Amino acid sequence: MKLRRITDWLQGQRAAIRLALRTMLAGLITFTLAHLLELPQGYWAVLTSVIVMQASVGGSLKAGLDRMLGTVAGAIWGVSVTLAIPHHDTLTLGLTLAVALTPLALVAALKPNYRVAPVTAIIVLLSTTGVQLGPVRYAIDRVLEIGLGCLVGFAVSLLVLPARAHGLLAEAAEEVILALRDLLELLLQETTRSPDGTALAATHLRLSQALSRVEGLVDEVKRERANRLTDTPDAEPFARNLRRLRHDLTAIGRTVTEPLPQPARQYLEEAMGDLRLAISDYLVGSAASIRGRRVPPSLESVDKALLAFRDSMDRLRQSGTLRDLGIDEVEQVFSLAFAVQQLRGDLGDLADRVAEHAKSSNTSQSG
């Protein structure tokens, strides 16, 4: 039984284990190459290869390009300032440091991909090894070492157990959809009382974290597409659809902060229950389709339940019951109906996104 738990845990941590293996391999390869090339401070290359290694190929590409760009910019500016301003004592060294850091710090604040530049300039200026070798030679060595680390890190990310950003995005999207399903259940499971605030807060937090992960992976997918590392579809429509689904449920949540008025509930309660179950099953099926890279489930049951809900709304309007309700209560009922209709439209968009994912996965496998 204990062995089974360990096996299950390892299965659930496959992505992390693969990343750890890639990181270890990149570090060892870089260490070997730095030793063979007799780089003066090869540990910079090893550190860089580890830093560059990210969860996806697109992430590694971005980390490598940013680090290389910042290193080159910092080295050029650091050498220029070091040669231009004499600094033989603490006061002049401090002045030189200020001149070197000020523009680079501003650039890094405006362009985060240059955030390594100030660090490189400091190393070129203050390193005792740099004093012995001279700033130009020392800067060239740093660029070569950082370049080696970036190259090896990206190569290992691309060739050894590669993790494409679109696959990671699909995993994150699955988490979002399951969180949306849990949120839907919390909001509509009980029509006679308000949803559990503690459970809602926990579910919203889980949903926000999963959405943040999706948003972060969108840029990595774009980078892989731009560099022809993948032929998967643009990830932005998927992320946008998930955001809209969350907004739909937020709108539904606003309508059920208080229970529906009893006269309206007697018309809508059964239809709302059926609609909740249909949408919940559809979301679970969509998550399974993403995981299995299959076509999305049918929306037929959702449409059938939605039609029954509309019929219930029509009966409610025709009964004259709404005339006996307050303005806020009438607004609550119609806001719920509108939010449900919006949700159905975005579920249709979700089906399109899941179908795109399945198609791109099948194309990649056949290729």
Closest by CA position to 250, among listed 200, 302, 189, 313: 200
Q: Residue 221 and residue 170: Cα distance in Å, rounded?
A: 11
Amino acid 40: pLDDT: 86
Rg (CA), the chain: 28
Q: Residue 317 and residue 264: Cα distance in Å, rounded?
A: 9
Instruction: Classify 39 as helix, strand or coil.
Output: coil
Do the Cβ atoms of 66 and 149 come closer than 8 Å?
Answer: no
Amino acid 8: pLDDT: 61
- b/e 5-39 (16+ beta carbons within 10 angstroms → b): eeeeeeeeeeeeeebeebbebbbebbbebbeeeeb
Instruction: Classify 29 as helix, strand or coil.
Output: helix
- Residue 310: exposure state from Cβ atoms within 10 A (0-12, 13-18, ≥19): middle
Q: Residue 163 and residue 227: Cα distance in Å, rounded?
A: 15
Amino acid 367: pLDDT: 41
Q: Residue 317 and residue 283: Cα distance in Å, rounded?
A: 30
* Helix residue ranges, H only, the chain: 2-12, 14-36, 43-52, 57-84, 90-110, 117-126, 128-133, 135-159, 165-188, 197-226, 236-255, 262-292, 300-319, 327-366
Residuewise pLDDT in 10s, the chain (367 residues)? 566 776 666 666 777 888 899 999 999 999 999 999 988 889 999 999 999 998 888 888 889 999 999 999 999 999 999 888 887 788 888 888 999 999 999 999 999 889 999 999 998 888 755 556 778 888 898 999 999 999 999 999 989 888 777 788 888 999 999 999 999 999 988 766 677 778 889 999 999 999 999 998 888 888 888 777 777 778 899 999 999 999 999 999 888 888 888 888 888 889 999 999 999 999 999 999 998 888 999 999 999 999 999 999 999 888 888 888 888 888 988 999 999 999 999 999 999 999 988 876 554 444 4
Instruction: Classify 360 as helix, strand or coil.
Output: helix
What Å distances lie between residue 158 and 153, 162, 224, 262, CA to CA? 9, 5, 11, 60
* The residue to which tokens 């972060």 are assigned: 216
Written as one letter, the residue type at 242 is L
What Å distances lie between residue 110 and 77, 106, 123, CA to CA? 17, 6, 22
Q: Give the count of beta carbons closer than 10 Å to the beta carbon of residue 225.
A: 18
Amino acid 149: pLDDT: 95
Amino acid 362: pLDDT: 52
The two three-digit tokens of residue 61, written as one number: 């590409």
Amino acid 335: pLDDT: 92
Sequence-distant (6+) residues with CB within 8 A of 5 are none
Q: Which CATH class is domain 165-366?
A: mainly alpha
Q: Give Cα 336 to chain centroid, integer Å.
A: 30
Sequence-distant (6+) residues with CB within 8 A of 128 are none
Instruction: Classify 349 as helix, strand or coil.
Output: helix
Domain segments of the chain as ranges:
2-159, 165-366
Instruction: Classify 294 as helix, strand or coil.
Output: coil
Amino acid 11: pLDDT: 65
